Amino acid sequence: MTNARKIIIDTDPGQDDAAAIMLALGSPEEIDVLGVTTVAGNVPLTLTTRNARIVCELCNRTDVKVFAGAERPVARPLVTAEHVHGKTGLDGPALTEPTMPLEEQHAVDFIIETLLAEAPGTVTLCTLGPLTNIALALTKAPEIAPRVRELVMMGGGFFEGGNITPAAEFNVYVDPEAAEIVFRSGIPIVMMPLDVTHRVLTHRARVEKIRAIGSPAAVALAEMLEFFERFDIEKYGTDGGPLHDPTVIAYLLRPELFTGRDCNVEIETTSALTTGMTVVDWWQVTGRTHNAKVMRHIDDEGFFELLTDRLARL
């Protein structure tokens, strides 16, 4: 994997997080997963840490190191999403408890240590949940910021609005103070907002193609997606639900599937109505300095072809 892109996956699994981890682990020639760090988000930390190890075991990748991170946001109580993901976060298939070990080192320290040890500009942070771990790492060791190659995140929304409140997407809403720290850090950010992820729907035919692969990972993921999509089908009235988090990994593998533009993004942290809103200056009306490449469109067919192909390689 000498030419593979080095990444750390920071995650709160989550069925769509599971799909993202599987996509990364199914692409070893192109992606070198240095570690998986977990954060409280979709479900509490004990469950996100359990779930990350379950996904690695489904992929027969018990060599992947998993580190537990922050159990609560930087400055507010934790909000979770069992109403979407189920009580375990991976509801759907029958899953056994993981047997692979959890690393003793804290996720924040692993992130700092890795960025200081690897050559500057070689490690990409892939964030699939609240940005708490990254914000804590930046606060503890601000010297890591210029060493990050890129931070590719699932979070936020602009024309699409929010999914946990009318204004806010869940990952940013859970810890807006952390998001503010990250967006002001100077790290090159690529943002996958709801405007992109709501275009990649788990249509029944797409899920059946995944199930037909027949591997334990693919069958489990198909069952996860059938559970996961029920909430969004009822909410949005669509054929299938949005598959948010794998867009982060897909961008690393096939950036040509996406289009967007450089923007300024500010995070609302104080308003009772719009806390967690990502204020995206899409039309460049503020004159504020760009701090993120914000994606808006995706080739959804190409995305699902990529995902299905890489699941088949596991």
Give the catalytic positions in this structure: 244
| SS3 readout for 150-201 | EEEEECCCCCCCCCCCCCCCHHHHHCHHHHHHHHCCCCCEEEECHHHHCCCE
Tokens, residue 14:
């989550």
What is the number of other CB atoms lying within 10 angstroms of the CB of residue 243? 28
- Torsion angle of C-alpha atoms 180, 31, 257, 265, degrees rounded to 10: 10
Phi, psi (deg, nearest 5) at residue 227: -70, -50
Pair 213, 311: CB distance under 8 Å:
yes
Question: How far apart are alpha carbons 155 and 88 in whole angstroms?
Answer: 22
Task: Give how far Cα 313 sits from Cα of 29, 141, 149, 254, Å.
Answer: 11, 38, 27, 17
- Token pair of 46 as six digits: 């004990």
Question: 252 and 129 in contact (C-beta within 8 Å)?
Answer: no
| 3 state SS of 242 | strand
- Is residue 186 reached through a cis peptide bond, with omega within 30 degrees of 0 on the bond before it? no
Distance of CA 168 to the CA centre of its chain: 16
Tokens representing 203 are 């249509």
Tokens in use for 229? 């999509």
Give the whole-angstrom CA distance, residue 254 versus residue 89: 28
**Coil, strand or helix at 124:** strand
Structure tokens at 38: 């977990």
Rounded Cα distance between 67 and 112, Å, is 13
